[in-house]
Amino acid sequence: MAVTEDDVRRALKAVPAPDGAPSLADSGALSKIAVMPGGRVIFSIETTPDRAGAVETIRKAAEAAVKAVPGVSDVLVALTAERAPGSAPAPKQAAPASPMMARGARGAPEGAAPPARPAGGPGPQGAGVPGVRHIIAIASGKGGVGKSTTAANVALALKAQGLKVGLMDADVYGPSVPTLFALHDRPEVEGKMMKPLEKHGLKIMSIGFLVDAGTAMIWRGPMVMSALTQMLTEVAWGELDVLVVDMPPGTGDAQLTMAQRVKLSGAVIVSTPQDLALADARRGVAMFRKVDVPILGIVENMSYYCCPNCGHRADLFGHGGARAEAQAMGAPFLGEIPLAIQIREGSDSGAPVVAADPTGEHARAYATIAEGLWRRLTQGAPGRASPRIVIER
């Protein structure tokens, strides 16, 4: 029997509220309830840092009540405890922010997680994913610069070098990987681990595999962070040389989650040559540097357009801006990718150009980027210190 939001709310009628309401189901502290395919239920409870320890009892009661609902396979209940401007830092016993810690599963003691949004001071040492040698983030300061297409083709180019590669779509609000690879099946679950889907030799996971197409993901920061952690730690990635993570655009919760909770080998910033995109790329570089994630390089996407009929080249968005910006910021420049019909057609049809035309000129451009990236990972990438998260308010 499929569980519904009403079923969950009925169960929460028996759970006390943290704000004096008759029950948690009637409380304004209860977030929107997300019921995922397969019976997974996710929601959060708002509190304050000074009460996070006390409300943990309510969180556990809510989790137990919902687990008892027929049709529920798994429950994630997170506490959101944010610090108001000018207030004291959150206590160390803040609520769990990841699905693993929310359930107290596989070696993560309950209550041991850091606050969902740290207010300064040393962050936790990022942990690796068992069997994964390197985790890299493909990021951009803004949307619309071709980051997901770049991530997919770079992952395929790394695979073409004989490496074992995975691709994780971390864009919870706008997952692109299902379209890029024409994958729309549900992942199989063995025990509590999901099996990634496979295409062109890549192991692939996306939130888009778990929700219906067109579903609006109206999730707050803690739920996004929980989903990302779950896709990293509850997926059977196996032995990988590289896990490529397609990040959402910007410098928000997802980027901080990856920097805090995962041992990133580095980040690649994708930008177009135009000034507006470069300004956002600078912010992306600054954010990753602030949390001690090495910048592996910058890619200039849509670098130029070459007419397939006459061969005339036009710099529609300017040209060379990302290379100049990389030099100014002291970051490696990995290469440039043209604005090409073949790349767009491959992305729309579920056949990325590196897979569809592996010996073509566009595949060679991605191969150059992948070679430079792998060289940085294995030879020249700087070490990564324990991240220090600074939130300016």
pLDDT of residue 229 exceeding 50, the answer is: yes
Cβ atoms of 246 and 176 within 8 Å: the answer is yes
Number of domains into which the chain is organized: 2
Q: 245 pLDDT band (50/70/90 cuts)?
A: very high
Q: 101 pLDDT band (50/70/90 cuts)?
A: very low
| 55 and 204 co-located in one domain | no
pLDDT digit string (tens) for 163-190?
999 999 988 777 889 999 999 888 888 8
Residue 311 belongs to some domain of the structure: yes
In this prediction, what percent of the chain has a pLDDT beyond 70?
74
pLDDT (0 to 100) of residue 93: 34
Q: 277 pLDDT band (50/70/90 cuts)?
A: low
Q: Output 229 or 196, whichever has higher pLDDT.
A: 196
pLDDT of residue 11 exceeding 70, the answer is: yes
In angstroms, the Cα distances linking 26 to 10, 20, 61, 182 are 10, 10, 15, 42
| 191 and 333 co-located in one domain | yes
| 197 and 335 co-located in one domain | yes
Rounded to an integer, the average pLDDT of 323-329 is: 80
| Kind of pairing between the strands at 202-206 and 305-306 | unpaired
| 80 and 182 co-located in one domain | no
Q: Nearest-5° angle of CA 32, CA 37, CA 117?
A: 45
pLDDT (0 to 100) of residue 276: 61
| 208 and 339 co-located in one domain | yes
pLDDT (0 to 100) of residue 387: 39
Residue 21 belongs to some domain of the structure: no
pLDDT of residue 384 exceeding 80, the answer is: no
pLDDT of residue 48 exceeding 50, the answer is: yes
| 274 and 356 co-located in one domain | yes
Q: Output 276 or 13, whichever has higher pLDDT.
A: 13
84, 102, 120 — which closes off a domain? 102
pLDDT of residue 42 exceeding 50, the answer is: yes
Residue 323 burial (CB count, 10 A)? 17
pLDDT of residue 49 exceeding 70, the answer is: no
Q: Output 297 or 52, whichever has higher pLDDT.
A: 297
Rounded to an integer, the average pLDDT of 135-151 is: 84
Cβ atoms of 389 and 120 within 8 Å: the answer is yes
What is the extent of the structural domain holding 75? 29-102
| 219 and 354 co-located in one domain | yes
| Kind of pairing between the strands at 305-306 and 313-314 | antiparallel
Predicted TM-score (pTM) of this structure: 0.65
Rounded to an integer, the average pLDDT of 132-156 is: 88
| Kind of pairing between the strands at 132-139 and 240-246 | parallel
Q: Output 30 or 81, whichever has higher pLDDT.
A: 30
| 335 and 296 co-located in one domain | yes
Residue 118 belongs to some domain of the structure: no
Q: 3-state DSSP call for residue 138?
A: strand
Q: 203 pLDDT band (50/70/90 cuts)?
A: very high
Burial class (CB in 10 A: 0-12, 13-18, 19+), 236: middle
| 215 and 360 co-located in one domain | yes
| Kind of pairing between the strands at 74-81 and 132-139 | unpaired
Q: Which of 37-46, 274-283, 361-370, 383-392 has the lowest mean pLDDT?
A: 383-392
Residue 249 belongs to some domain of the structure: yes
pLDDT (0 to 100) of residue 215: 61
Task: Read off the CATH number of the domain in which 143 is found.
Answer: 3.40.50.300
In this prediction, what percent of the chain has a pLDDT beyond 90?
31
pLDDT of residue 256 exceeding 50, the answer is: yes
Q: Output 26 or 2, whichever has higher pLDDT.
A: 26
Burial class (CB in 10 A: 0-12, 13-18, 19+), 186: exposed
Sign of CA dihedral 332, 281, 289, 208: negative
pLDDT (0 to 100) of residue 218: 57
| 287 closest CA partner among 260, 320, 316, 321 | 260
Q: What is the DSSP string of 321-385?
A: HHHHHHHHHT--EEEE----HHHHHHHHHT--HHHHSTTSHHHHHHHHHHHHHHHIIIIIPPP-P
| 219 and 179 co-located in one domain | yes
| 224 and 323 co-located in one domain | yes
Strands (E), the chain: 34-35, 40-47, 74-81, 132-139, 165-169, 189-190, 193-194, 197-199, 202-206, 240-246, 266-271, 295-300, 305-306, 313-314, 333-336
Residue 348 belongs to some domain of the structure: yes
Q: 238 pLDDT band (50/70/90 cuts)?
A: very high
Query: Hey, which of 81-85, 161-165, 332-336 has the most confident mean pLDDT?
Result: 161-165
pLDDT (0 to 100) of residue 253: 64
pLDDT of residue 147 exceeding 80, the answer is: yes
Cβ atoms of 169 and 207 within 8 Å: the answer is yes
Contacts of 56 (CB under 8 A, 6+ apart): 79, 93, 95, 110, 111
* 144: DSSP letter: S
102, 123, 149 — which closes off a domain? 102
| 67 and 212 co-located in one domain | no
pLDDT (0 to 100) of residue 154: 95
Please, what is the average pLDDT of the chain?
Answer: 77
Q: Which two tokens stand for residue 22?
A: 């008759």
pLDDT (0 to 100) of residue 380: 59
